[in-house]
A and B are shown apart, each in its own frame.
Chain A
């Protein structure tokens, strides 16, 4: 991690609006983030907070009804805002790879695993089938699939969910991507397989200097994998910073609330009441003013209805009217 070097991906003021019958849904609002080579950014947050849309906006795969605006969106010198469809196709699956939660969104049921892996490489790189096949076997072994050569002739439906997701990960790595965007890649998997796949992804970022955006709602995954964390609530990045800071000294009341909701072995008492965040996420249709968390925040005051200042000491930033994000109010040193 080196903040001196130029980031691989730099996003400023990303805003996503979706016209609906009853007004405009402000799904993502003024997001800023940077990602360097070898760095992993984890995005956590409530369901519907805009995590998946943010990643789709980066790779240009938003549905047509969604309006994207930003002041800057740059990938290693390429302006993603003005890039043509052809340029984006050349980046996707090549320099930028994607892994989605449901492996069948990335696999074609009509083709063998081998054909799909080989095509993934030959679509972007001028290599022989033989070479591509060897790389496919190498990567399948790397993701922990035994008897890899014999799997090449199998169809997706002949594999279990865990194996399919490994194939998708191998496919994402065929072209040696510089950026991996993984949206809940292990949510559907067992804990033991999840650990195996995550350690594989982490090793890759370290060994090959790959940058990764990992979207999840599992705070355990985030803590173990992230260099940087972004916490999203109702379309905004309400807190972001180095993982050790966000977990060690969470500032935003939502982040603090989230961490109290999960049972933490060794910390929470077995069977004791867990923290809760009562209430529901507000509608983001129409004008959104002030802090969207105020309806559920235990520290909300009148001023939370107005524009919210950005606070904190970069790189650890948060959005809240309280200068210390109510740490003091919750009885903790500032």
Chain B
């Protein structure tokens, strides 16, 4: 296999949070020993419930947060503090909210060309050229150049955000819920655009979303996160057709396809939401897992390789006492 464009090795991010007014700060492992690799042209979908650490992971990749432990590699080279700016040229973000991520007092031209000015790329003339090319790429007419974000629709604003990310010709785009604030009629335009850009420029995406149907549609590989860990990672077809981790399975069961002959599915999950400051012992998922046994309460499952990734669950560990080779869904 060729060198991955992006790699995380055993990354840990610990925040210190206070509970209550006078409490002593306690460590919260938002990202807990995560390793992932992204090959050029891949779309890695990252899913998992609110607070599991998806955005923290994205911020680490963007250099907006430092890692507590572990390393980030781009094209096999470790990214240290000193070359953050260089990293920013190659990895660009598209965030969820096209309303608040655009400065309301700047024109579209200012907003989209800002990265070029920050990184001191080109002269006024070449910047103008890049600007027009990029707008065309994302399907915005050049007459919007001198308008303000408030004069645009949600879909147009998200195109502006995408243009701002693409003007740097990044290799990797980190999309954190890029369409969840949009109407479905607008969402489909943006998803098509992201797909076209990938085909045309070989872009690599990390795609974070709560909408599993969207992830299934766009991703080539999927990572499922629970309480700071990637509990399962696999090629998209394998994950959606044969999820192995009980949490992945519950997630997929919760997807509501527009099929009126079916009712609301039973997730079979308990409602015992974990406290990230004081995570459950053993397998972090055990209090909600319908298959948990005593072994799960005491021992954390190790990652077991599977095609395109791994799974962390005792049911899938051939060397463990709970191994059930027949356990597929």
Q: Are the CB atoms of A274 and B192 closer together than 8 Å?
A: yes
Q: Are the CB atoms of A221 and B256 closer together than 8 Å?
A: yes
A220 CB contacts on chain B under 8 angstroms: 213, 255-258
- Say how far A87's CB is from chain B's closest CB, in angstroms: 35
Q: Are the CB atoms of B257 and A261 closer together than 8 Å?
A: no
Q: Which of A46, A194, A271 contacts B254 (CB 8 A)?
A: A194
Q: Are the CB atoms of A244 and B185 closer together than 8 Å?
A: no
B266 CB contacts on chain A under 8 angstroms: 195, 199
Closest chain A residue to B48, Cβ basis: A190
Q: Are the CB atoms of B271 and A226 closer together than 8 Å?
A: no
Closest chain A residue to B253, Cβ basis: A195
Q: Are the CB atoms of A145 and B271 closer together than 8 Å?
A: yes
The interface bits of chain B over 42-54 (1 if a CB of A lies within 8 angstroms of the residue's CB, else 0) are 0000000111000
**Which of A161, A191, A226 counts the most B-chain CB atoms under 10 A from its CB?**
A191
Q: Are the CB atoms of A146 and B217 closer together than 8 Å?
A: no
With an 8 A cutoff between CB atoms, is B298 at the interface? Answer: no
List CB contacts (< 8 Å) of A258-280 with chain B. Answer: 258-266, 268, 270-271, 273-278, 280
- Say how far B290's CB is from chain A's closest CB, in angstroms: 12
- Say how far B90's CB is from chain A's closest CB, in angstroms: 24
Closest chain A residue to B250, Cβ basis: A192
Q: Are the CB atoms of A190 and B217 closer together than 8 Å?
A: no
Q: What is the interface size of chain B, counting residues whose CB is below 8 A from a CB of the partner?
A: 47
With an 8 A cutoff between CB atoms, is B121 at the interface? Answer: no
The interface bits of chain A over 167-207 (1 if a CB of B lies within 8 angstroms of the residue's CB, else 0) are 00000000000000000000001111111101100100000
- Alpha-carbon separation in the docked complex, A224 to B262 (Å): 6
Q: Are the CB atoms of A223 and B154 closer together than 8 Å?
A: no
Q: Are the CB atoms of B251 and A191 closer together than 8 Å?
A: yes
Q: Which of A192, A222, A225, A276 contacts B49 (CB 8 A)?
A: A192
B262 CB contacts on chain A under 8 angstroms: 223-224
Q: Which of A202, A273, A278 contacts B195 (CB 8 A)?
A: A273
List CB contacts (< 8 Å) of B238-258 with chain A. Answer: 240, 250-251, 253-258
- Say how far B287's CB is from chain A's closest CB, in angstroms: 10
**Which of B216, B264, B265, B266 counts the most A-chain CB atoms under 10 A from its CB?**
B264
Q: Are the CB atoms of B267 and A195 closer together than 8 Å?
A: yes
Closest chain B residue to A47, Cβ basis: B183
Q: Which of A47, A191, A225, A276 contacts B255 (CB 8 A)?
A: A191
A265-B258 contact in complex given A192-B269, A195-B264, A270-B236, C-beta closer than 8 Å: no
- Say how far B43's CB is from chain A's closest CB, in angstroms: 9
Q: Are the CB atoms of B218 and A271 closer together than 8 Å?
A: yes
With an 8 A cutoff between CB atoms, is B191 at the interface? Answer: yes
B118 CB contacts on chain A under 8 angstroms: none
A47-B50 contact in complex given A146-B272, A221-B256, C-beta closer than 8 Å: no
B259 CB contacts on chain A under 8 angstroms: 223-224, 247
Closest chain B residue to A280, Cβ basis: B153
- Alpha-carbon separation in the docked complex, A162 to B267 (Å): 15
A192 CB contacts on chain B under 8 angstroms: 49, 250-251, 254, 267, 269
- Alpha-carbon separation in the docked complex, A275 to B189 (Å): 8
Q: Which of B217, B256, B273 contacts A224 (CB 8 A)?
A: B256
Q: Are the CB atoms of B154 and A244 closer together than 8 Å?
A: no
Q: Are the CB atoms of B195 and A218 closer together than 8 Å?
A: no
Q: Are the CB atoms of A163 and B217 closer together than 8 Å?
A: no
Q: Which of A144, A163, A248, A262 contacts B260 (CB 8 A)?
A: A248
Q: Are the CB atoms of B212 and A191 closer together than 8 Å?
A: yes
B185 CB contacts on chain A under 8 angstroms: 46, 257-258, 261, 276-277
- Say how far B225's CB is from chain A's closest CB, in angstroms: 12
- Alpha-carbon separation in the docked complex, A6 to B265 (Å): 32
- Say how far B235's CB is from chain A's closest CB, in angstroms: 11
With an 8 A cutoff between CB atoms, is A217 at the interface? Answer: yes
With an 8 A cutoff between CB atoms, is A30 at the interface? Answer: no
Q: Are the CB atoms of A247 and B260 closer together than 8 Å?
A: yes
Q: Are the CB atoms of B183 and A276 closer together than 8 Å?
A: no
With an 8 A cutoff between CB atoms, is A160 at the interface? Answer: yes
With an 8 A cutoff between CB atoms, is A219 at the interface? Answer: yes
- Alpha-carbon separation in the docked complex, A144 to B218 (Å): 33
With an 8 A cutoff between CB atoms, is A243 at the interface? Answer: yes
- Say how far B154's CB is from chain A's closest CB, in angstroms: 7
- Alpha-carbon separation in the docked complex, A262 to B211 (Å): 11
- Alpha-carbon separation in the docked complex, A274 to B186 (Å): 11
Q: Are the CB atoms of B258 and A247 closer together than 8 Å?
A: yes
A225 CB contacts on chain B under 8 angstroms: 264
With an 8 A cutoff between CB atoms, is B68 at the interface? Answer: no
- Alpha-carbon separation in the docked complex, A189 to B192 (Å): 26
Q: Are the CB atoms of A264 and B213 closer together than 8 Å?
A: yes
Q: Are the CB atoms of B217 and A263 closer together than 8 Å?
A: yes
With an 8 A cutoff between CB atoms, is B82 at the interface? Answer: no
With an 8 A cutoff between CB atoms, is B40 at the interface? Answer: no
- Alpha-carbon separation in the docked complex, A263 to B210 (Å): 14
Closest 3 CB pairs of A and B: A220-B256, A263-B217, A261-B188
> What are 17 A-B pairs with beta-carbon distances under 8 A?
A160-B50, A162-B273, A190-B49, A191-B212, A192-B49, A192-B267, A194-B254, A199-B264, A217-B183, A223-B256, A223-B260, A224-B260, A224-B264, A265-B240, A275-B188, A276-B188, A278-B189
Using A199-B265, A261-B187 as known contacts, list a sample of 9 further A-B pairs with CB atoms less than 8 Å apart, ordered by residue number in A: A47-B183, A192-B49, A192-B269, A202-B263, A202-B264, A262-B187, A263-B213, A271-B218, A278-B189
